[in-house]
Amino acid sequence: SQQGEEDPQALSIQEGENATMNCSYKTSINNLQWYRQNSGRGLVHLILIRSNEREKHSGRLRVTLDTSKKSSSLLITASRAADTASYFCATDVPGYSTLTFGKGTMLLVSP
């Protein structure tokens, strides 16, 4: 079964706006990761947040983690057309040897 579920499934915004994507999961985690996938390409690791962290920043990316609600959010500020991609969350669960990926959020940023 899917551990991480992203919301919304698709998001369309204008350049310069902020984009927020959410990820909910079911069990306790070691860490949660966000990846980007451009159409027809492999995934690119964006950011990792550990279970004892609440917020992390990397450039225009801001990730939050609420372990009590078992949820995470990815905020992309001042979006650009080049941010158009699918975004996936992945969870590292204790006792599991592999990450579990969600189905992704498709982000479209229009010029």
What residues numbered 7-46 form the site for another protein, per CB under 8 A? 30-31, 33, 35, 40-45
How wide is the angle at C-alpha 31 spanned by C-alphas 108 and 13, nearest 5°? 15
Task: Tell me how far, at minimum, the Cβ of 98 lies from another protein, in Å.
Answer: 5
Asked whether position 2 contacts another protein by CB under 8 A, the answer is yes
Structure tokens at 107: 């982000």
Q: Which stretch binds another protein (CB under 8 A): 52-60, 62-70, 72-80, 93-101?
A: 93-101
Q: What strands lie across the sheet with 5-7, from one edge to the other?
A: 5-7, 19-24, 71-76, 61-66, 55-58
Binding residue (CB under 8 A) for another protein from 19, 23, 93, 109: 93
For 79, counting Cβ atoms within 10 Å of its Cβ (0-12 exposed, 13-18 middle, 19+ buried), the class is buried
Q: Which residues bind another protein (CB under 8 A)?
A: 2, 30-31, 33, 35, 40-45, 48, 88, 90, 92-94, 96-99, 101-104
